Amino acid sequence: MSRQKPARFVSPEWEKLDAALQKWRLSSRAPGEDRNWLRLNLLPFIFWCDRNKVDPESVNDDAVRRFIASWEGRGTEARLRRSWNKAAEEVPDWPTVRVSPHVPMHLRPTYSEGQIVTLPEHEFHPSLCGEIEKFCQNRGFLDPEREALSQLSHRERLNARLAKLHGQDSREVEAAMATRRPRPLSESTIRDIRKLIYTTATALHLAGEAELSDLRRIEDVTTPKGAAVLADSIVKRLGAERAANRLYPFFCVRWLARIARRCGIAFTYAEQLAWNELSLDLLETAIPGPGPCERNLKLMLQLDDPKKFSMLVALPDVMMAELERARARRGKPTVVEARRAKSVIAIDILNTFPIRRRTLATLDLKRNFLCPPGGNTLLVIYPDQEKSRKLLEASLTERNCRLLSLYIGHYRPVLPGADRSSYLFPAATSKGYLSPTTFAGVIANIVKRRTGIHMHVNLWRHVMATKLGEWTQRAEDGGKLLGHIPNSSSTRRYVRLGTRLAAKQLREITDEARSQGIQLLMAGPE
């Protein structure tokens, strides 16, 4: 069988860049199977540019869109954009031109309950669409060059606030009120915000408050009137009874206010007060859920079986023993076995200290694991890593440390990307760790395959908090384990556990009285 000849380039410029990619691959510190990822991501685009006579210095967003439209691999546009920009940063002799990391989205009409929710994007004014795209490309900032922090002193801030309270409202006062610049938004949040703006504009149009041709900027949509009309449209679509049981209208109105702040839109004091009152009205009418949703409640009932709960707790020990026997035979674990060990340690951590999936996926060996002299190893979660913004801490037992040591010493070094980051669960990705959603899915599949239990990572929090509360006979201990703030909506979810414990105590009282009553009845009337 003849060996296939390497592809030849028409343009010497592209051939030179391909050689630079190969040289970068040889100098990369990544494991052998992951060294060529950058070249593999860029090679189809390079061949396309070479055939279509697109020079390296002429690459832009339009060239990327044309390539994606002519190629079958449409789902790799975000990866292509990230790879091109990474090559511009790290590969020598690469062109300095960069493409936008944001993948343009095209909004389609959406319906709910048989009613139109969002009109198609092409029906809106081009200037509004352009401003929304700019807001998304800048990751949640309409003006990326805005100063991150105000240079005013605390006395000047106080004077600005007093001026605002006295009705002297202006854009200068609003700028003086700004204390910090918000953080850039994630891609998933940007997609939701983008749709929210268009949904609000649709609600204004359907309610007869504005024509689509009059909505030309984001500030025309993110107004107190727009927030009220959006809330009315949600209530109308869901019905008053269903909407009263949801916080969705409140979150939408609150996000509209955040969008306005990010865009530097100023409101009068009366408008801000009216907006706050609207948010409070929606918050008061929404009844927070009394506990886990119906689906999670059914899944939790699986663990009422002591055998299944024992299987879940013992799963890390059993799987690690299997992996160790395979390593003893072979002398070195394979990548597949190392990835399995990664899930084993994740399950053991969740059994010991149930944390959220993003916190779990981003655990750092150097930061989150502390070894005080003469004491047990501590797993510490810092406020910036946790949704509740609280410092959480758990002491690891000798058994936890033994499993962790086996994983770090023998299995973690085999994982792709282990030499490029200090994450406990490394991966050969641009961030250095696996996507929390993907990692959670892998864990759930292993638990289901080995034990038959249908689990997801967040369910661990409900299960372990419930088991702790049942054992201590104190419902509030579940909230303490999860780091919930006292009297918060999350803490109130464990009212179910409190009623369950109270019913159990009542059953013990009635069982004792029943046995005595049977004896009295059998003896007959005196």
State residue 436 phi and psi, 5-degree precision. -55, -40
Do 127 and 224 have their domain in common? yes
Residue 344 and residue 468 in one domain: yes
Same domain for 451 and 304, yes or no, is yes
Do the Cβ atoms of 182 and 261 come closer than 8 Å? Answer: yes
What does the pLDDT profile of the chain (526 residues) look like in tens digits? 334 334 566 678 888 888 888 887 777 654 444 457 788 888 888 888 888 888 888 888 888 888 877 775 445 677 888 888 888 888 888 888 888 776 666 666 777 767 788 888 888 898 998 888 888 877 787 765 544 344 567 777 677 667 766 665 555 555 444 444 567 777 778 888 888 999 999 999 999 998 988 999 999 999 999 999 999 988 888 777 666 667 788 888 989 988 888 887 878 888 888 888 888 888 877 655 545 566 677 777 777 788 888 888 888 888 999 999 999 998 889 999 999 999 999 998 888 878 888 888 999 988 888 887 776 788 888 877 777 677 778 788 888 889 999 999 999 999 988 888 889 999 887 788 888 888 999 999 998 998 888 888 888 877 777 777 666 666 555 555 565 544 444 444 444 444 444 455 444 544 555 455 556 555 655 5
What is the pLDDT at residue 355? 82
Per-residue pLDDT at 167:
62
Query: Does residue 110 sit in helix, strand or coil?
Result: strand
Based on the domain organization, do 279 and 306 belong to the same domain?
no
Domain limits at 298? Answer: 294-500
Instruction: Examine residue 2 and state whether it is found in any structural domain, yes or no.
Output: no
Q: Note whether 332 and 442 are same-domain residues.
A: yes
Burial (CB count within 10 angstroms: exposed 0-12, middle 13-18, buried 19+), residue 298: exposed
The pLDDT score that the predictor gives to residue 343 is 92
Into how many domains does the chain fold? 3
**Shared-domain flag, residues 346 and 451:** yes
* Residue 49, in any domain of the structure: yes
Q: Which of 302, 304, 419, 425 is nearest to 361 (CA)?
A: 425
What DSSP designation does 104 have?
Answer: P
| CATH number of domain containing 373 | 1.10.443.10
Rounded Cα–Cα distance for residues 469 and 291 (Å): 14
pLDDT value at position 495? 43
200 part of a folded domain: yes
Q: How many C-beta neighbours within 10 Å does residue 445 have?
A: 12
Nearest in space to 221 (alpha carbons), one of 193, 198, 237: 198
Confidence (pLDDT) at 290 = 46
Task: Tell whether 119 and 199 lie within a shared domain.
Answer: yes
| Residue 407 CB-half CA count within 13 A | 27
Whether the Cβ atoms of residue 91 and residue 24 lie closer than 8 Å to each other: yes
CA angle 490, 493, 494 (to 5 degrees): 115
| Threshold 0.85, pTM exceeds | no
What is the pLDDT, as a whole number, of residue 341? 93
Last residue within a domain, chosen from 262, 285, 308: 285
Find the Cα–Cα–Cα–Cα dihedral 294, 300, 304, 307, rounded to 10°.
140
Dihedral sign for Cα 333, 338, 344, 349, please: positive
Beta bridge partners of residue 110, listed in sequence order: 118
- 134 and 230 both lie in a single domain: yes
H-type alpha helices, 418-494 = 436-451, 457-472, 476-482, 489-492
The domain boundary, picked from 285, 312, 341, lies at 285
Count of residues in the chain: 526
Asked whether residue 510 is assigned to any structural domain, the reply reads: no
Kindly state whether residue 484 falls inside one of the protein's structural domains.
yes
Q: In terms of domains, do 280 and 298 share one?
A: no
Q: Are residues 486 and 352 in the same domain?
A: yes
Residue at 86 is within a domain: yes
Question: 243 lies in a domain?
Answer: yes
Give the HSE-up count for residue 349: Cα atoms under 13 Å, Cβ half-sphere.
29
Q: Which of 285, 309, 329 is the last residue of a domain?
A: 285
φ, ψ for residue 313, nearest 5 deg: -70, -35
Shared domain for 249 and 327, answered yes or no, is no
Which DSSP helix (H) or strand (E) runs through 450?
Answer: helix 436-451
In this structure, the answer to whether residues 25 and 57 fall within a common structural domain is yes
* Residue whose entry in the numeric block shows the structure tokens 């408008």: 271
Which value, in Å, is the radius of gyration of the alpha carbons in the chain? Answer: 29
426 φ, ψ (degrees, to nearest 5): -75, 165
Half-sphere exposure for 470 (CA within 13 Å, toward CB) = 12
Residue 30 located in a structural domain = yes
